[in-house]
């Protein structure tokens, strides 16, 4: 963690089409280059991969990106480092495509593996290559240099500081050899250590990741800003095929990763059952060798001409990919051609999948969905509709990601981003409780748009800074205000701070002074306060241009909810006072739809919905039998009372069906002495993924508390069928019965659980509905919109102060 402040190119990867001006009224070049118009750039692209022919995914991506840059009016020169052999026709095609082609000789025998088991960063950058690129850099002046792959990042250092230096990563190469070894696959191509890759990323002014998961990996490595730039091939959706029977297709190269996944898929596919349903499996490309000899139901097609020729003859495309990194080009290629696709979560990573059949846990799960597709016409329709919707969403997102390449000014804005300061007394880096998980998730989304620092109001323990760094990234910073060791100091209150009675009860002078000290640097465009109890800090001076309250809950509603159940809430505030305090903020963040609607009415134009969001996850497989019912919770009165009620009233009525109740989190401490049959207490877990992965059904029996329940969101986003109380489902709308079950009485809770335990079909149906509901409302896209709005507001009011130096 580092304290820092050509012709129009059609298709989804292209910039928006603009009306062509009349030649008589077309502005002159000086006018185009004036301050009021985006400046056109001379761009040099250095790549070890050719752009022609586009017979591999990396070639397609590079070609489409460069054509799109041309479409913005920029000059593109291509420096091809001849690590790959190409024929004269390919060279001629590259000469025709780009304004200039520079052919740079390359000797692969000069490549080294100087770290023994892996490569040093520059092992594939021999002296002769450095001399050739240095000559290019010295001979011409470029506005932008774009380098493909981190192992050529040394080239960025050869250009002057005024040149925008951009690194297109394609993949995470740190420990790539270890990931392949874990899959039992041979190691090929470049691989290195995290430290070496970080050194390469730091050479860039801007780093391009091909999908969001990799962006987050790079953000933890480098001080350079990292943005996601995906890829959607330029292809027109094809009409349905006119052949007999159903055709399922796989198209891929003969690399070991493809062979591993395809072999496992075919082993589980049940070819005889497929033939009985009138379907056959077709395998094209180099991967045909893994399909074995042709036999009834399996057709190895070998090499084909154009990808469109293959997709035109298919009714469904599968991608059972397991392991590896990077965007799966074969997935987006099939989607771009308008074909329904089924695949693993790995095959759809970074695409924003919302359907279970786009997030199978492995190749075997993909085979199960393919068998179902062959049997069920209704399921075939669902796959087609959702695949088309996913393709359209992703194409729009790629167009948005590409837009900054329209000008040097827009790219510079990505590099020099506004700074935000988040203030909290919650140790979010632990991620053990719902509020900690919420803040950590929000910070990971915010850091994609702004440079985020955090002022923590409390003492730091050993290891806290390292754990916080994993959340904040290398461009973030953690600042601590330990306060007074004797406790909260209610005075002195500065004369300019007009506090309400509620704020006076929470005012802490040392924390107030600490915030004013940070604000005095004048670097932050936005300050975000966590929870209404910190609202007294709104009065700190000098005030940031944009002040934001992250509510988590509308506390007055929560207090009222506690009182209804004769419980005492630790914080007291009326609705009138709470809304009055909120009125002092420029923006207020709501975590769920009901409270967003309330705040939008009370504070027009100032409420933003920023739900808790989880990263892309596989959809939980539905097992034949139920072994584990789970509950996950902290040591709060809501969780203790809800679990106690469940153990007393509901569990005895379902325990006879053979399932166990597994409980994790600090709530376990309240039941440590319980001797209830079937109850398994796990205590507090550092990471809950394995616990939830092993679950068959989730429960949330809380009956008071208010606010969105993070554990409920985790159940939904994993496709875990769940039974909730009305309170457990608070903030959810539109999913009852299809994504989760709500019990409004003891009898209903028991009935719902018994039905789920006994009926595998019901569990599968509810789990798939939960996954779609959860990914739609609580997936990454749900949080991105509000974070981008905050960043745009921050950009419009950012102070004209240099960022803190690295």
> Measured between alpha carbons, how far is 577 from 343 in angstroms, rounded to an integer?
51
Give Cα separations from 213 to 346, 349, 367, 628 (angstroms): 11, 8, 25, 30
Work out the pLDDT band at 52, boundaries 50, 70, 90. very high
Residue 777: predicted pLDDT: 93
Residue 28: predicted pLDDT: 39
pLDDT of 13 over the 70 cut? no
Over residues 451-465, the mean pLDDT reads 96
> Measured between alpha carbons, how far is 776 from 452 in angstroms, rounded to an integer?
26
Over residues 412-416, the mean pLDDT reads 93
pLDDT in tens, 143-152: 999 999 999 9
Q: Residue holding tokens 């789970």?
A: 630
Q: Helical H runs in 183-328?
A: 194-201, 212-219, 256-268, 271-276, 307-312
CA atoms within 13 A on the CB side of 343: 33
Q: Does residue 12 contact residue 395 with C-beta atoms inside 8 Å?
A: yes
Q: Provide the β-strand partners of residue 248.
A: 281, 316
Q: Residue holding tokens 């041309």?
A: 70
Q: Which among 535-539, 551-555, 611-615, 796-800 has the top mean pLDDT?
A: 535-539
pLDDT of 666 over the 80 cut? yes
Residue 563: predicted pLDDT: 82
More confident residue, 803 or 663: 663
> Measured between alpha carbons, how far is 765 from 541 in angstroms, rounded to an integer?
55
Give Cα separations from 590 to 437, 579, 700, 730, 731 (angstroms): 16, 13, 22, 14, 11
Sheet bearing 477-481, strands edge to edge: 477-481, 451-457, 419-424, 524-530, 546-550, 587-590, 607-609
Work out the pLDDT band at 18, boundaries 50, 70, 90. very low
User: How does the average pLDDT of the chain come out, rounded?
Assistant: 90
Residues whose CB is less than 8 angstroms from the CB of residue 457 and which lie 6 or more positions away in sequence, other chains included? 423, 424, 425, 481, 483, 508, 511, 514, 534
Q: Which among 31-35, 150-154, 186-190, 433-437 has the top mean pLDDT?
A: 150-154
pLDDT of 565 over the 90 cut? no
For the beta carbon of residue 781, count every other beta carbon within 10 angstroms. 16
Q: Residue holding tokens 């409270």?
A: 595
- Provide the CA 763 distance to its chain's centre, in angstroms: 27
> Measured between alpha carbons, how far is 555 from 705 in angstroms, rounded to an integer?
10
Work out the pLDDT band at 5, boundaries 50, 70, 90. very low
Q: Which of 42, 13, 39 is nearest to 146 (CA)?
A: 42
Please report the domains of the chain, with CATH numbers, ordered by start residue: 39-228 (3.40.50.2000), 246-402 (3.40.50.2000), 418-613 (3.40.50.2000), 628-778 (3.40.50.2000)
Q: Does residue 755 contact residue 762 with C-beta atoms inside 8 Å?
A: yes
Work out the pLDDT band at 801, boundaries 50, 70, 90. low
pLDDT of 424 over the 70 cut? yes
Residue 38: predicted pLDDT: 63
DSSP string, 94-148: HHHHSSEEEEE---GGG---TTSSSB-TTTT--HHHHHHHHHHHHHS--SEEEEE
Work out the pLDDT band at 568, boundaries 50, 70, 90. confident
Give Cα separations from 664 to 541, 707, 711 (angstroms): 43, 21, 11
Over residues 342-349, the mean pLDDT reads 95
pLDDT in tens, 750-796: 999 999 999 999 999 999 999 999 999 999 998 999 999 999 999 99
Measured between alpha carbons, how far apart are the two ends of the chain, in Å?
10
Q: Taking phi first (over 0 means left), then psi (-120 to 50 degrees means alpha), and beta for anything else, what does residue 260 get? A: alpha
Residue 256: predicted pLDDT: 84
> Measured between alpha carbons, how far is 61 from 26 in angstroms, rounded to an integer?
32
The answer, as to whether pTM is greater than 0.75, is yes
Over residues 84-93, the mean pLDDT reads 95
Residues whose CB is less than 8 angstroms from the CB of residue 236 and which lie 6 or more positions away in sequence, other chains included? 337, 338
Q: Which of 118, 97, 246 is nearest to 179 (CA)?
A: 118
pLDDT of 644 over the 90 cut? yes
> Measured between alpha carbons, how far is 554 from 399 in angstroms, rounded to an integer?
37
Over residues 428-454, the mean pLDDT reads 93
DSSP string, 694-714: T-SEEEE---S--S--HHHHH
pLDDT of 802 over the 60 cut? no
> Measured between alpha carbons, how far is 385 from 387 in angstroms, rounded to an integer?
6
> Measured between alpha carbons, how far is 42 from 33 in angstroms, rounded to an integer?
13
Q: Residue holding tokens 């965007």?
A: 327
Residue 52 phi/psi, 5-degree rounding, is: -135, 140
Q: Helical H runs in 41-109?
A: 57-71, 88-97
Q: Provide the β-strand partners of residue 631.
A: 663
Q: Does residue 150 contact residue 174 with C-beta atoms inside 8 Å?
A: no
Q: Provide the β-strand partners of residue 723.
A: 699, 741
For the beta carbon of residue 438, count every other beta carbon within 10 angstroms. 25
pLDDT > 90: what percent of the chain?
Answer: 79
Residue 37: predicted pLDDT: 55
> Measured between alpha carbons, how far is 514 from 425 in angstroms, rounded to an integer?
13
């Amino acid at each position: 963690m580092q304290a820092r402040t050509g012709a129009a190119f059609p298709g989804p990867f292209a910039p928006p089409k603009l009306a062509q001006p009349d030649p008589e009224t077309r502005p002159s070049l000086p006018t185009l280059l004036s301050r009021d118009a985006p400046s056109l750039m001379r761009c040099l692209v250095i790549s070890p991969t050719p752009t022609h022919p586009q017979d591999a995914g990396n070639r397609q991506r590079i070609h489409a990106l460069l054509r799109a840059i041309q479409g913005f009016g920029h000059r593109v020169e291509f420096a091809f480092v001849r690590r790959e052999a190409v024929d004269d026709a390919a060279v001629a095609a590259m000469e025709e495509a780009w304004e200039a082609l520079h052919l740079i000789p390359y000797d692969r025998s000069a490549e080294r593996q100087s770290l023994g088991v892996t490569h040093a960063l520059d092992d594939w950058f021999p002296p002769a290559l450095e001399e050739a690129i240095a000559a290019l850099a010295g001979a011409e002046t470029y506005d932008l240099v774009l380098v493909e792959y981190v192992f050529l990042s040394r080239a960025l250092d050869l250009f002057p500081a005024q040149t925008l230096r951009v690194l297109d990563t394609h993949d995470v190469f740190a420990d790539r050899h270890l990931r392949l070894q874990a899959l039992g696959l041979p190691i090929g191509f470049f691989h290195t250590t995290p430290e070496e890759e970080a050194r390469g990323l730091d050479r860039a002014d801007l780093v391009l990741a091909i999908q969001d998961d990799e962006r987050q990996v790079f953000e933890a490595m480098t001080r350079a800003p990292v943005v996601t730039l995906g890829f959607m091939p330029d292809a027109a959706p094809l009409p349905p095929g006119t052949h007999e029977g159903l055709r399922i297709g796989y198209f891929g190269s003969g690399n070991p990763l493809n062979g591993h996944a395809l072999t496992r898929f075919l082993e589980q596919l049940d070819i005889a059952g497929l033939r009985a349903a009138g379907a056959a499996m077709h395998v094209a490309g180099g991967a045909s060798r893994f399909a074995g000899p042709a036999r009834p139901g399996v057709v190895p097609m070998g090499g084909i001409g154009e990808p469109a020729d293959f997709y035109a003859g298919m009714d469904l495309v599968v991608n059972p990919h397991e392991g590896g990194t990077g965007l799966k080009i074969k997935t987006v290629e099939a989607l771009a051609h308008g074909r329904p696709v089924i695949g693993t979560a790995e095959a759809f990573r970074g695409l924003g999948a919302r359907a279970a059949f786009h997030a199978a846990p492995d190749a075997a799960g993909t085979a199960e969905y393919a068998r179902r597709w062959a049997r069920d016409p209704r399921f075939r329709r669902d796959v087609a509709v959702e695949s088309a919707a996913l393709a359209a969403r992703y194409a729009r997102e790629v167009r948005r990601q590409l837009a900054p390449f329209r000008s040097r000014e827009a790219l510079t804005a990505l590099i020099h981003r506004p700074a935000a300061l988040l203030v909290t007394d919650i140790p979010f880096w632990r991620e053990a409780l719902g509020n900690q998980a919420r803040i950590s998730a929000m910070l990971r989304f915010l850091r994609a748009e702004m440079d985020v620092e955090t002022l923590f109001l409390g003492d730091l323990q050993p290891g806290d800074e390292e754990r916080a760094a994993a959340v904040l990234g290398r461009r973030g910073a953690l600042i601590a205000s330990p306060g007074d060791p004797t406790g909260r100091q209610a005075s002195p209150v500065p004369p300019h701070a007009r506090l309400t009675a509620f704020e006076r009860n929470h005012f802490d002078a040392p924390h107030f002074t600490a915030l004013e000290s940070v604000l005095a640097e004048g670097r932050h465009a936005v300050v975000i306060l966590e929870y209404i109890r910190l609202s007294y800090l709104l009065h700190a001076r000098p005030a940031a241009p944009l002040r934001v309250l992250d509510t988590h809950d509308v506390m007055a509603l929560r207090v009222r909810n506690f009182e209804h159940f004769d419980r005492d809430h630790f914080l007291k505030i009326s609705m009138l006072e709470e809304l009055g305090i909120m009125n002092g903020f420029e923006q207020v963040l709501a975590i769920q739809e009901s409270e967003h609607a309330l705040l939008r009415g009370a504070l027009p134009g100032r409420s933003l919905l920023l739900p808790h969001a989880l990263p892309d996850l596989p959809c939980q497989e539905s097992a034949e039998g139920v072994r584990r019912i789970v509950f996950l919770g902290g040591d709060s009165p809501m969780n203790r009372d809800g679990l106690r009620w469940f153990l007393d009233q509901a569990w005895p009525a379902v325990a006879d069906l053979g399932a166990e109740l597994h409980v994790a989190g600090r709530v376990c401490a309240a039941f440590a002495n319980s001797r209830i049959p079937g109850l398994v207490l796990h205590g507090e877990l550092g990471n809950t993924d394995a616990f939830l992965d092993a679950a068959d059904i989730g429960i949330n029996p809380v009956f008071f508390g208010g606010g969105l329940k993070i554990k409920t969101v985790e159940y939904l986003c994993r496709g875990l069928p769940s039974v909730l109380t009305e309170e457990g489902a608070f903030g959810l709308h539109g999913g009852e019965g299809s994504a989760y079950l709500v019990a409004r009485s003891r009898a209903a809770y028991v009935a719902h659980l018994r039905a789920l335990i006994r009926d595998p079909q019901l569990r599968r149906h509810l789990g798939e509905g939960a996954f779609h509901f959860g990914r739609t409302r609580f997936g990454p896209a749900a949080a991105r919109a509000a974070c981008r709005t905050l960043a745009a507001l921050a950009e419009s009011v950012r102070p004209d102060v240099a960022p803190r130096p690295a």
